Amino acid sequence: MTTPATPVFLDAAAISLYIFFAFFAGLIYYLTRENKREGYPMINELPDRPAFATMHGFPETPPPKVFRLHYPEGATVVQGVRPERDVSAQLIPEAPYPGTAFVPTGDAMKDGVGPAAYADRADEPDLAFDDHKPKIVPLRAAPGWHIAHEDPDPRGRPVITLDGEVAGTTVDVWVDRSEYILRYLETELSNGRRVLVPMFLCTFTDDGTARVISVTAAQFAAAPSVAQPEQITLLEEDRISAYFGGGHFYATPERSEPCL
């Protein structure tokens, strides 16, 4: 006795459901692949282990994107992995297995590692959208800009550091012409060298005296500076911010110790 074949019904609802399944599977694949644009391919932290190699996983990392830049007009940049700074001499792992914490071997603030690490951004200034000129400049190079009369003017006032010492004297402040805020405090040391301090790491008294509690006076004097007197690049911004920000962890031995 034969059994009649079971009929297969393909109506509009079933076809729509199958199309949705296919679309959703493709969406998951696409998003997982695009999610690998940062942090992939994974590199083993212990290169002396030959069993661990560079890993892409599934799916493979996507090809680099090409971005068209607003300025210079017509210029393009290809997304890719920049050569990373070799910090193997400045950091050592606490234990001989991947994923362990790294311990600085020297001055972490100068070496730019740990909480004082910075990104290797372009060594070019950030430009304003309207006039294609550096947008972060000192007030002396920004005609028409001034400090509001109700705010304290730090120019000519001392800068006091974590240890209570006077690190230098404020000679100018740097303004962001695109964001309408003050970005950096320019301080002149006793030897004539000038250092920029992120404005958000400074506190001020009513007379304009600045206090920077992230570093000591000696560390303040060793802070990185800018190459041009009236211009700061993206790389210099990250280095300066990382140096002073890292001082909240590395300035004194007590700061890097556990609270309990």
**Tokens 């570093």, located at residue:** 215
Listed by start position, the domains of the chain span 122-256
Q: What is the pLDDT of residues 205-250, one digit of tens each?
A: 988 899 999 999 999 999 999 999 999 999 999 999 999 999 999 9
The predicted model scores a pTM of: 0.77
Of 76-85, 154-163, 237-246, the one with minimum mean pLDDT is: 76-85
Q: Which residues contact 178 (CB under 8 A, 6 or more apart)?
A: 128, 129, 135
Per DSSP, what are the bridge partners of residue 134?
127
62 alpha-carbon distance from chain centroid: 23
DSSP-derived letter for residue 256 is G
**CATH number of the domain located at residue range(s) 122-256 in this protein:** 3.90.50.10
- pLDDT mean over 17-35: 94
